[in-house]
Structure 1
Amino acid sequence: MGGGHGERLGAEWQEHRPAVFGVAYRLLGSVADAEDVVQDVWLRAAAADLGDVDDLRAWLVTVAARRSYDILKSARVQRESYFGPWLPEPLLTGPDAAEPVLVDESVGSAMLLIMEELSPPERVALVLHDVFGLEFARIAEVLGGSVPAARKLASRARHRVAEARGSAPDVPRAELDRLVFAFRAAYETGDLAALVELMHPDAVYLTDGGGQVSAARVPIVGGQRIAEVLLRVGRRWRADRIDIVEIGGEPALVLHREGGIHSVDTFGFADGRIVAYRRVLNPRKLAHLKAVTSE
């Protein structure tokens, strides 16, 4: 690697690393896989002649997207046989993050679950164009197709995401914080009536144990039932402490038990109530959090 090339990459890498990680995480829903992609991109960039590269960020994002696309196509097969519900790996953001993270709605658990229903080409086209602003010529290069085809994939993905999201208005951050604080207080005190009041009657509870720990293999539906299940499980596996952190740009809970992280809980809200409760229990998806959430 020549001196000029090394100086340029060294000077700009830290600036662009959040984008490289960001595209990989949005496409894969896995912190561990995204970190592997970042390492692959760094090695590729270090070995490449970047003298003719006008837009280094776009070049790096394109390389990350191509590698992620290859992983995503194989991951789809693995997830079809995943034990129980699949949830994305929790991504610490805000003041809790170990390093800068590009945050928008596309890193939230709800959006990642919606994008999980897209085909790999649709997901790539949507993320690269709508989140990272890449031209369709680059997207077509990643996907190995034409520009019109890439444009059509992004449009179709955008339409499917809009349908899945519905017309529910965005909830102000202060309201999200209030609801999560209220939930934690009710959960810690075992207040069933307060929990039921916070839950939407049609709320859905998903638990991801990945076959590694005990977890419900099917969704639990109904605010009353969810509240009862949460308190019953909470009495059996009592948390030593429950922290409120930021996951994917939104307030979430980290439950600590017996010196380690027991689970990470994220929420979906509508009409001032919890409509989705998601609990990641799979220890493989929590390993990366231990160092940054321990006191």
Structure 2
Amino acid sequence: MTDEEWAEHRPAVFGVAYRLLGTVADAEDVAQDVWLRAAAADLSQVADVRAWLVTVSARRSYDILRSARVRREAYVGPWLPEPLLTGPDAAEPVLVDESVGTAMLLVMEELTPPERVAFVLHDVFEVPFDEVAGVLGNTPAASRQLASRARRRAAAAKERPRATRPERERVLTAFRAAYETGDLEGLVKLLHPDVVYVTDGGGKVSAARKLIVGGRKVAEVLERVRARWALGHAVPCEIGGEPALAIFRDGAVAVIDTFDIAADGRILAIRRVLNPEKLTHVSVAS
């Protein structure tokens, strides 16, 4: 395989791994493993190289995914996917659709590993079920059933209407202004009364280990954390194809916030990654 061919297919290889594992570091490791295998293989008789690479990526990710369950159980506090920087700030091309958004990755985290593999391979990357079955070690019919169950869970997560992208960007602009100026009432107005605030510190930094619910309560917590951590300015960025905020401290990204915003423009959820190990690869200009 030439470097040019690998550059063309790498986003799909990485994309499968990230959707399955939810971690950039593991997805990078999988992409490297797939590259080494492809470089050593004779692919001259392979009819669809992309499909071959995607399937190899899924098989390796499936092995990691099953062992990752143990790591998740031992994780301190809520677990959130590692932020994947997309858009113009991304260091390299990334395949973006709703399946790399934080909300959808959290839905897939609730699936069994086989359901997740079947859904990602077939519904996202259009791999036929006979090849999905080869990865999972079952039958095409069984793989079809797994994907169907996963699809129903994913559909249920999308039932509530969400804001359009321009509306989300407008809301985040207003949120950023209220947050940076300490405008508590301004924050409360932007938050849904039942907003949920989730923080992922991974035991590496101080973070809430339980969900915080309620507009005023969340606004007050946001203000307390900003003061306690001496957080600086917030910079708009794109995470998983969605508008997000990177918040700086001492010149480095200390927080990534992703948001779930309803069609009426109120924020339904704020998901905050504080774990520094999940932010090392996020490079946002301050």
For the aligned pair, the TM-score class normalised by the smaller chain equals: over 0.9
Who is 2:115 aligned against?
Answer: 122
Who is 2:105 aligned against?
Answer: 112
CA distance in 2, matches of 1:168, 1:59: 37
Who is 1:226 aligned against?
Answer: 218
Of 26, 31, 35, 2:28 maps to: 35
- Are residue 185 (structure 1) and residue 161 (structure 2) matched? no
CA distance in 1, matches of 2:74, 2:217: 28
Aligned residue type for 1:235: A
SS in 2 for 1:215: coil
Gaps of 5+ in 2: none
SS in 1 for 2:247: strand
- Are residue 71 (structure 1) and residue 64 (structure 2) matched? yes
Aligned residue type for 2:284: T
- Are residue 84 (structure 1) and residue 77 (structure 2) matched? yes
SS in 2 for 1:287: coil
CA distance in 1, matches of 2:122, 2:33: 22
Residue by residue over 1:19-54, the C-alpha shift from the partner in whole angstroms, topping out at 9 and shown as x without a partner, is 000000000000000000000000000111111101
Who is 1:3 aligned against?
Answer: none
SS in 2 for 1:246: strand
SS in 1 for 2:104: helix
CA distance in 2, matches of 1:36, 1:108: 21
- Are residue 56 (structure 1) and residue 54 (structure 2) matched? no
CA distance in 2, matches of 1:171, 1:56: 38
Aligned residue type for 1:293: V
CA distance in 2, matches of 1:279, 1:170: 19
SS in 2 for 1:92: coil
Could you tell me whether the CA contact under 8 Å between 2:85 and 2:240 is conserved in 1?
yes
Gaps of 5+ in 1: 1-5
CA distance in 1, matches of 2:155, 2:40: 41
Figure out how many residues of one structure are paired with residues of the other and give that number.
285
CA distance in 2, matches of 1:77, 1:192: 40
SS in 2 for 1:196: helix
Who is 2:235 aligned against?
Answer: 243
CA distance in 1, matches of 2:163, 2:233: 27
Q: Quote the RMSD (CA, aligned, Å).
A: 1.0
CA distance in 2, matches of 1:241, 1:191: 14
CA distance in 2, matches of 1:238, 1:281: 14
Who is 2:276 aligned against?
Answer: 283
CA distance in 2, matches of 1:283, 1:35: 18
Identical residues among aligned pairs (%):
68
Q: 1:169: how far off?
A: 2.1
